[in-house]
Amino acid sequence: MKTILITGAAGFIGYHICKNLLNSNINLIGLDNLNSYYDISLKNARLEKLSGLAKEKNASWKFIKGDLAEEKSLRNIFNENNINVVVNMAAQAGVRYSIKNPSAFLKSNLIGFCNLIQICREFSIDNFIYASSSSVYGGNKKYPFSEKDEVNHPVSLYAATKKSNELIAHSYSHLYNIPCTGLRLFTVYGPWGRPDMAPMIFTKSIIDGKPIKLFNSGNMYRDFTYVEDIAEIICKLIEKPAVSNINFNNEFPEPSSSWCPHRIFNIGNNNPIFLLDFINLLEKEIGKKAIFEYHEMQPGDLEKTSADITLINDWIGFKPKTKLNEGLKKFINWYKYFYRI
């Protein structure tokens, strides 16, 4: 059977990928360092859920606590398991947090990433998929964001580390012919979400009757994408590794593909929504009005994100299918259940 390693398995997206893959006839290994960036009990609850589902489905599942920055222990995992595919969702997240604590991002997103892809090279991995971010588009003002656009003006260290990951992956793909697929993820929401992300912050504030901090006076747009749609896309990419673009023109290089097996895809919803309209949908679902507190734009934030998803649809024939009101209903139902509201 194929063995797949999911890093960041106790994280928001990592959990949903693992949950989806438990339906497959594979050996599934989850890796996570369970750091304290946000509530560890939520991460442990995700892992408990995965263990329970694995028993129900009689699936091959193993969790390992470990850190990508610890090269020796990471190499031991590959020595002890015949890993074929790696999906790297492990990273230090948070645009604003990268301004406060840059060293955490250098350790996880650069050193950890380099350790992992080097070991993937040593063990001849068949398919390497890694999370990038829509934040790499930085100062771009052309909408929707396209993978064919240049991304040379990041506005946060977090974005810079994600752009660096794309460059490192391309170099390894060129040097060692490793199929690498980078995913520029747009704002993700859904059950088991991260407490530091807007949907969770807004929901908690509305329920608790506390003010929501609206930066840029709420004049922002986000391309919210439902997490289970993202997990389904990634599972399809596991079955379709990156390949060389035989039509690649070195004189007019296209950033989304290469002469080597490296591809970059936007993973978004292609339907940006005004932030106040998003909050209005939350209010209707919760049955309570929000209180607002207006602030200036935060350093590192983007005013608008909007994904052109033509390339991923052409590649695997899939578009996100969950409508925002449907996804928010599922999210709020989970939130009330999990937090006993």
- Residues with catalytic roles: 158
Of 206, 229, 201, the residue nearest 96 (C-alpha):
201
Q: In this structure, are residues 186 and 267 in contact, taking their beta carbons and an 8 Å threshold?
A: yes
Residues sharing a CB contact under 8 Å with residue 335, sequence separation 6 or more, in sequence order: 191, 200, 203, 341
Q: Would you say 66 and 34 are in contact if contact means Cβ atoms under 8 Å apart?
A: no
- Cβ atoms of 190 and 227 closer than 8 Å: yes
Return the beta strands (E) in 243-315 as ranges: 262-267, 273-274, 291-295
CB–CB of 128/180 below 8 Å? Answer: yes
Which amino acid is located at 46 in the chain?
R
Q: Cα separation of 264 and 237, whole Å?
A: 12
Rounded alpha-carbon distances, angstroms, from residue 122 to 182, 243, 256, 334: 20, 20, 26, 41
Largest CA distance in the chain: 59
Beta strands in 205-290 (DSSP E): 211-215, 221-222, 225-226, 262-267, 273-274
